[in-house]
Structure 1
């Protein structure tokens, strides 16, 4: 179980949890009722029915015991929860490494590492090692001690650099991971999913849809009364110019209004699109067409 505390700001560690290697593929012949029964059974098996921090961490521990690697970031963990992790990757502001290595039993390796630095106060008996670690590595404490924890060239630091160098060298005969296609689904499948997603987004934003309907109807009535029966007048060149000008004005007015009203919605969806495209869910063309 590898635990990485990726960012330390304001006295806590924040981030998300990623569990790899857990994928369920259900055939189409399995109906929704059987699928729900299977999900409920799994939820009870991994003790996620009463959702709490301890049960979640037991689930993570059980996942690790199956041979998978779990990367977590934690927020003010208790002694018991912090003791369930195997390794810690602690960063300070500026993405600088403070500690990268194993925790040990009751965080003994972590405590011994920091207590070995001159000026660092000893941890009190029964005190939470996670809270103690955040206290002694705070910017104010660094200024008081006159040291920078990120530049400590310890044996642990040298070991990590050597390990990175070894892991960066590919094994003899190994090949780069290659896929035949960039996306797992075809173009039409991506378009279908994007259309379904856009359909849901409009239904979940009824205020925006209602305003667009209302404004379009009002503008249509306004232009319709202003240019009523204008198309039947075609005797003069000026009549044709008037008809073309009315169509140009109507299209331009509605276009500008729709473009301005859609900006807040597009701003939110653009962020989601960047994230989903980077994850390889779909390309830009199906999303634009949808």
Structure 2
């Protein structure tokens, strides 16, 4: 936690440390500049020896860019090396930097060295280059730098305006345009066009000047003093990086600490996300009320009533599966980008992250299961004694489909692909659950889908339990409830006084004694999905690295 506290202080994030990142498109949460600083903090807590920041001020207002530049300066002052790529930086951002690596088109090094006070060291070097012009008064050194290296063919409009205002009438043209003028003069003097075309570009000329400069000699002396072979430096850095990745960071907390901290973070995150928590609770209750109203207090002392009661169980299973999977998919879609960003820095173990997500999600699944089952069961008219077992079935089923959504959320390349695959899985799982098409009628080539579907085991456990007569209670002919009987048609033959459980077991091939086995298989499927989730996270980490 010391590294986290240090990062919060360096990046000036203490005032917002307990706020959610939020959704910028929805207009709530942190500002864009604060988000940039949080992104820097994610890298900073890994305690890197070098911090690479790619365009940290892009898309920020001038005030936000200045704030980001200030905290970058503070990070550098703390003893860390910070490397930034910047495009057209403002004067305020530019003044926060110490050294400059200036690249021209084609990747040619034009300058590498200190900026100096007021960027004077860099400006003096650039002014000494052929075809360049002095820095106009009041001009941003960064704009001047870009004009000098890009002056081949045209002069920057801003510089041209500054110089035109300062030059006397009839004075000589700006030096920034002389390269173009000289190049056109080669043709006027009768030189071959091919020779002119083969002339070095502005970037190549500037690179040649840098190689001959004192700044390049100083750089070479520094590298030699560090014992670095310049020709093999990149290859050795790559090998060092691979070795460090293979052995891990010794300063990183152990697995248990990572798991505990990630679980706490995910729990707080889910609690703050009203769409994931509160709104899902409301959604589950509303659907329980709607479905319960459709099957309200069914009279189950007839064959059609018993079939309707079974249909109520099936609809409950389908509702729970669909709501849990879709809402989890939405939640994970918002969290995948942050995971990818954090894994690029190898901030934590993906296995710990997968376990933490699963554990943090379990309390919410339990709350949803209790709310839905209690409301739905009481409205439909299930015996109260069966409600605890139904809660268990719904809890395991909801966790299974939540795990499916988690796996797809980290495996699928896009949210659209994840949604499409999830819709297909939901449709196929329901179709082969054993209700719409009894298990005995499923073609042999498709029976494997039935045995993979969590819904089939949920129905195998839940349906018989609704009609199990409590031990010690007598079976009463044509009574309502699980201990009653009905008249049932079986193959065109009307059978009298058939216990409801016997009728259901014969119709669907279900047996109440195997409910425990179905629960065990559902738990095993959840465990298998957890392993698949961990694989998906490691796969995504390898792509992010």
TM-score, normalized by the shorter chain, greater than 0.5: yes
| Aligned pairs (5 A) from 1:35-54 | none
- TM-score normalised by L of structure 1: 0.59
From 125, 131, 136, the equivalent of 1:124 is 136
Q: Is 2:318 the counterpart of 1:252?
A: yes
Q: Is 2:101 the counterpart of 1:89?
A: yes
Identify the residue that residue 76 of structure 1 maps to in structure 2: 90
Deviation, 1:101, is 0.6
Which whole-Å CA distance do the structure 2 matches of 1:71 and 1:178 have between them? 21
Identify the residue that residue 220 of structure 1 maps to in structure 2: 288
Deviation, 1:222, is 1.9
In the alignment, is the contact (CA less than 8 A) between 2:104 and 2:110 conserved in 1? no
From 282, 285, 290, the equivalent of 2:351 is 285
Tell me whether 105-114 or 220-229 shows the greater mean CA deviation: 105-114
Which whole-Å CA distance do the structure 2 matches of 1:72 and 1:102 have between them? 14
Deviation, 1:272, is 0.7
In the alignment, is the contact (CA less than 8 A) between 2:105 and 2:203 conserved in 1? no
Which whole-Å CA distance do the structure 1 matches of 2:284 and 2:270 have between them? 16
Deviation, 1:218, is 0.9
Structure with larger Rg = 2
Which whole-Å CA distance do the structure 2 matches of 1:287 and 1:53 have between them? 29
Structure that is richer in helix per residue = 2
Which whole-Å CA distance do the structure 2 matches of 1:223 and 1:52 have between them? 54
In the alignment, is the contact (CA less than 8 A) between 1:219 and 1:254 conserved in 2? no
Q: 1:260 to 1:157 in 2, by over 3 A?
A: farther
Q: 1:166 to 1:55 in 2, by over 3 A?
A: same
Q: Is 2:160 the counterpart of 1:149?
A: no
Q: 1:254 to 1:155 in 2, by over 3 A?
A: same
Tell me whether 213-222 or 114-123 shows the greater mean CA deviation: 114-123
- TM-score normalised by L of structure 2: 0.35
In the alignment, is the contact (CA less than 8 A) between 1:115 and 1:122 conserved in 2? yes
Structure with higher RCO (Cα < 8 A, 6+ apart):
1
| Aligned pairs (5 A) from 1:190-205 | 190-205=258-273
Deviation, 1:133, is 1.4
In the alignment, is the contact (CA less than 8 A) between 1:88 and 1:100 conserved in 2? yes
RMSD: 4.7
Q: Is 2:334 the counterpart of 1:268?
A: yes
Deviation, 1:219, is 0.7
In the alignment, is the contact (CA less than 8 A) between 1:20 and 1:70 conserved in 2? no
Deviation, 1:132, is 1.6
Deviation, 1:154, is 1.9
Helix, strand or coil for the counterpart of 2:348? coil
4+ aligned runs moved over 6 Å, structure 1: 15-23, 51-55
Alpha-carbon deviations, 1:30-67, whole Å to 9, x = none?
xxxxxxxxxxxxxxxxxxxxx97997687567545xxx
Deviation, 1:125, is 5.2
In the alignment, is the contact (CA less than 8 A) between 1:190 and 1:286 conserved in 2? yes
Tell me whether 125-134 or 156-165 shows the greater mean CA deviation: 156-165
Deviation, 1:250, is 1.9
